[in-house]
Structure 1
Amino acid sequence: MTQADVRVVHAADREHWRSDWLESRQSFLATGNFDLAAGAHGMLMVHNDDVVDAGEGFDTHQHHSVEIVTWVLEGTLVHQDSLGHSGLIYPGLAQRMSAGSRIMHSEKNGALRRDGTPLRVVQMWLPPDNAGGQSSYQELDVATDLRDGSLVTIASGMKRDRNTTAIGIGNSHAALHVARLQPGQSVTIPDAPYGHVFVAIGDLAFEDIGDLGQGDAVRMTATGGHRVTARTATELLIWEMNRGFETQQNAAAP
């Protein structure tokens, strides 16, 4: 039986990488890391909080055998991919790419250099249940659903969520929830084998842990049910996962 554990990772303790136009704060080391599974929590391999300068971004590049969920916090992201999709991703619009055997895409700050408006975006990667296969793409606008301060499931591969409006991801062991809270509002963290709570905006009181601020994260194992209460206007990203890499590998063993 897995022992219950709660680990707080403060914003200042995240991996930090800076280029001329990108500042990346990474909950798991991603830059230059060729063994993302080794540092994963549950099924979550990459959780990058990136700030992209106006007029800059990632030119066309490829991915394969990964589920990518993108959530914009500030600004606008311009997306184009090899499946023919193009458009703007903005706060409240969730994006999912299943890379399959191969997908090419670019992502850039939609603001012109002279405007100087930065893009802040969180990008999250998980492994698919089955490597390779057909690539696919999906968007979902949940801005209206987030207005009442409830916990909203925006992306999931779990069987229980297949008939909901959540974006479907190709990992059947994970679900992403988002909440936008006003001061005094609370939500309950799902009880799961693995959980990852990220304070994207604002600050809050986390039951049994204490106060957390923007950029702080909590990695939870075999626990949940904690109440979190916003102290200021707050946005939370919460991954609920019922399996980790180790158990996935054991299940696949003959």
Structure 2
Amino acid sequence: MLALQQIDSALAQLLHRRKTLPEHDQLAAAERERDEAEAALVQAETEVSDLSADQAKAESDLEPVRQRLARDEARIADGSVSDPKQLESLVAEVGHLRKRISDLEDAELEVMEKLETATARADELRNAADKIRSEVERLTGERDTKVAAINAEAAGRKAERTAAQPQLPADLLALYEKVRASHSGVGAAELRNRRCTGCQLEINAAELRQFAAAPEDEVLRCEECSRILVRTENSGL
């Protein structure tokens, strides 16, 4: 019975170890950092995409104005416009077109500067995201390695438990499982030096006399915690 309890206690410790591995918290923190980095990267890449579209539009807006200016300047230069009023109007239009081109080029330059800044920021965030992804992979590997080792050890303990169960009477095993389920995983405890090692309380003299007189195969229970008490040479009876 004590051997079975030792196996179950060892299994409980293994499960606790697996659940409380520091890599769990480290990995969770790294994953949160990764998610934040990826969200920032998506936002930065969206800004780059939007600014690239703005630059393309600015260039697209410039092209027809430049073409019209070139045509007007060519007409002025080749003397094909002989009417003074038409020529005056054409010269005025050239001035307007040049002003329009200057404004559009200034706007395009502003967009290009913003795009350069946004691209640098996106590159920086991409590098940061790659770095934290690598950290997540490293921590995941460390956690999985430790979990696998614990699982292997737990599998060995479970095999020991399977081998130990048939050595106990079915009714005693059922009682042990029932008590263990309601007493923090400890269904049986050694009676050592007149003390229950389950609740650590000393057994009174009257109970000790009853225990000493009880047949060897009688199941003893602690009056305080109801756990099964196992007598040994160290029980003090």
Greater fraction of residues in helix = 2
Which structure is richer in relative contact order (CA contacts within 8 A, separation 6 or more)?
Answer: 2
Greater fraction of residues in strand = 1
Structure exhibiting the larger radius of gyration computed from Cα positions: 2
TM-score normalised according to structure 1 size = 0.17
TM-score normalised according to structure 2 size = 0.18
